[in-house]
Structure 1
Amino acid sequence: MAIRRLGVMRLARLAAACSLLVAGASAMAQDAVKIGCVLPLSGGSAAVGNQTRVGILAAINQINAAGGIKSMGGAKLQAVFGDSQSKADVGVSETERLIQRENVSVMCGSFNSAVTFPATEVAERNKTPWIVVGAVKDEITERNFKYVFRVNNKATYDAREQLDAMDLLAKETGKEVKRIAMLYEGGDWGRSHAANIRKFAGERKMELVFDEALPAHQVDLTSQLLKIRASKPDALILALYTPDQLLFTRQFTEQRLDLPYGVHSVGGGMEDPSLYEVIKPAAVAYYFVQEDWQIDMLDVNKDPLLHEADAFSKKELGYGMSAYVAQGMTSAYVIKDALERAASADREKLRESIAATDITSGPALFTGYQRIKFDENGQNTFAHGVISQNLEGKRRAVWPSENRASDTKPVWPVPSWSAR
């Protein structure tokens, strides 16, 4: 009898131990995977930073609602945000906080190249993978880093696309750009873009007749606009964040400066929906914008997840999808894909999984890419933008020609102010 009671007690203890193991495994499966995101949530780039934040949250909501990371027992994703304020030192300190105190598994951000460049150094030192969102400075992925990956274009790609679009329109009409002016913000992004434009324009035998960086906190562009007028360019290339772009657009319209082949913005403020909320459509008529996503994607892609994100964006921001919302979504879905394959939130395993990424379908491609695959430097070599033109109050894709809708007819050259 005693032996029988001993056996029963052992079985009871074994059952209890098994129950604890099952409960522990269940608890582990439910542990959230923390994603650290440094973005400009206040300051001059706050509108863009908050759009990116909404895109990240939209994707995380969708991923969690669909069952989380299935290879990790349904683990949910949790975004932990840090506000860079568009300042490099703040971005660095927020990166350190998220990695060391919040113990995030992976980082993303941070739009401004001047912030992203030093912040990714912190991630590299701490062996924490970082998915770059928005920042295009070439050198970000040219330092032999092992933990830094960029899904979107780098500055070289942006500059080449702007001039490729001019070449395409010249080929279609026989009317080519020969003289270019360039105005850009004075930080890492603007100067990097300007350097690439100089290189590619020189290769195409285009003459650069005006080339100037804006000082910080500029409040009047009259001097720059007068110099642009005097240089008589065929086209003007801009690389300006939202505040400077807004100032430029207002004063450019007031001066009614005629440019035969228009204004060509490399994203920046001209991709920011908040800018269009405070200016008249006529002020940006015929503008060309190098977009970081397929601007008419909602018209051509009927994926319910895309339209669900558009509705979420309208609820959170007051307007729908933008390049920055789309880029935020892409970063979260790239991380989700890597977590599924790694089946672990361990930073080193996750780094290896991100390096092996090869995505050819699904929500990660809502930006308009056909593929996401990183080279040895961590750059997605399949990244590309789309050049739009503002036609009848709507930005329509005009380059590459494969992205142009059959009813889109580029206007080249653009009408003078007196003819509008």
Structure 2
Amino acid sequence: MSKSNWARSVQKVLMAGAMTAAMGSSAFAAEAVKMGCVLPLSGGSAAVGNQTKVGVEIAAKQINDAGGIKSLDGAMLEVVFADSQSKPDVGVTETERVIARENVSVLCGAFNSAVTFPATEVAERMKTPWVVVGSVKDEITERDFKYIFRINNKATYDAREQIDAMDMLKDEFGSGPKTLAMLYEGSDWGRSHAANVKVIAAERGYEIVVDEAAPPNQTDFGNQLLKIRAAKPDAVIVALYTPDHLLFTRQMMEQRLDLPFGVHSVGGGMEDPAFYKALPPEAAFYAFVQEDWQIDILKVSTDPAILSADEATKAALGYGMSAYTAQGISAVYVIADALERAKSADREALRAALAETDIQSGPALVTGYNRIKFDEQGQNTFAHGVISQNIGGERKTMWPKENRAADSTPVWPVPAWSDR
């Protein structure tokens, strides 16, 4: 055999070996686990949806960079996002698409209760586990469904926490509101919250003097502000998404509407960093916000995953973690925990593992919970929020009192506009 023929033979052998090695490595490579995430990436809740998306992406990358799902031979998480456009019908269609066409093993989302409620019905019917992110409508986890799990509060918890905080401040300072106004968006979330507030307020001796549902995307809150001014409530409870909350707050500041015991927002727009970028800081001074995570948790956390997630959020969005990025992170870590225990991406196996979830440490608890454990309806009974107050442009935890930092003192009652 000539040298040239010998060289060609060696080259063929080497190439064949390389091809065999490549084929062997791909044959043994773990197949990625596909998870779907339905979020409002456009429409009225787009700011929130995109913050949640960043949280989901950060957590998936952290898990993949750490070696993926160990019990599945290092399988990577592959996230398939779907845009609900903040619309129930679109959310339903997109849920059907990612289950049937993308063949995802599990879903998360969808923030808007009006989207999540019907979309999770589709997931239940198609026997695909769904980890709820952000949506609080009580009935989401009150339908005897087996595939739906919610980490965060339901609406009843939110309403109770707002009234609990008022009661605490009343006891602490010796005075507090007797009459309340309510202004809320007119879809599932707002109406569910208002219904719960009315029940709890009546039990605690508060009188509701304004009960006003607002249609979405209003261009003027003048009529509602006139009603509130005429009724002279001691405080107002607000449940509005970011665009409407911005307009209401701007107009309230322009009109210098005084409320002796302030504005009490149940998350919504006042949890959104975009809200604070769009208004003068003083527009939100002294406001109370029922937060879906402990807003000042980063001051005390030592978890490297949480601290690095905050830095990654800043790089992606220009500001640190919000409740929405935190909820996205938590959902992915809960799903990863279930995958590790299920040792399978099969939907039934994953559903069974989610039902047995009991997380008491790690980045899944970034929202500030001490534990994540679902009841028979799929609700995390250890979920809770905190109540913050905006002091000089910084939201500081005020309720529960044991979560309050030493340098955080409530301002109660709140100063009139003329005294600020």
Q: Do 1:29 and 1:72's aligned partners in 2 also have CA atoms closer than 8 Å?
A: no
TM-score, normalization by structure 1:
0.94
1:10 alignment counterpart: none
Count of residue pairs brought into register by the alignment: 403
Deviations 1:305-361 (A, max 9, x none): 112111111111111100000000000000000000000000000000000000000
Letter in 1 for 2:347: R
SS in 1 for 2:407: coil
* Closer, same or farther: CA 351–172 of 1 in aligned 2, 3 Å: same
SS in 1 for 2:383: coil
Letter in 2 for 1:261: F
What displacement does 1:217 show? 2.6
Alignment of 1:266-281 (within 5 A): 266-281=266-281
2:6 alignment counterpart: none
The range that moved more, 118-127 or 23-32, is 23-32
SS in 2 for 1:30: coil
1:192 alignment counterpart: 192
2:15 alignment counterpart: none
Distance 1:24 1:150 in 2: 41
Q: Root-mean-square deviation (CA), in Å?
A: 1.6
Alignment of 1:317-356 (within 5 A): 317-356=317-356
Distance 1:317 1:89 in 2: 29
Pair 1:203-2:203 in alignment:
yes
Deviations 1:183-204 (A, max 9, x none): 0000000000000000000001
What displacement does 1:128 show? 0.2
Alignment of 1:117-156 (within 5 A): 117-156=117-156
Alignment of 1:151-166 (within 5 A): 151-166=151-166
SS in 1 for 2:144: coil
Distance 1:287 1:228 in 2: 17
Deviations 1:340-396 (A, max 9, x none): 000000000000000000000000000000000000000000000010000011000
Deviations 1:266-293 (A, max 9, x none): 0000000011111111000000000000
Q: Do 1:374 and 1:380's aligned partners in 2 also have CA atoms closer than 8 Å?
A: yes
Instruction: Report sequence identity in percent.
Output: 70
1:309 alignment counterpart: 309
Alignment of 1:14-413 (within 5 A): 27=27, 29-413=29-413
Deviations 1:32-77 (A, max 9, x none): 1001000000011000000000000010010001000000000000
Distance 2:47 2:411 in 1: 30
Letter in 1 for 2:369: Y
What displacement does 1:26 show? 6.2
2:16 alignment counterpart: none
Q: Do 2:176 and 2:413's aligned partners in 1 also have CA atoms closer than 8 Å?
A: no
Long gaps (5+) in structure 2: 1-18
Letter in 1 for 2:186: G
The range that moved more, 27-36 or 303-312, is 27-36
Distance 2:184 2:28 in 1: 50
The range that moved more, 383-392 or 309-318, is 309-318
What displacement does 1:304 show? 1.8
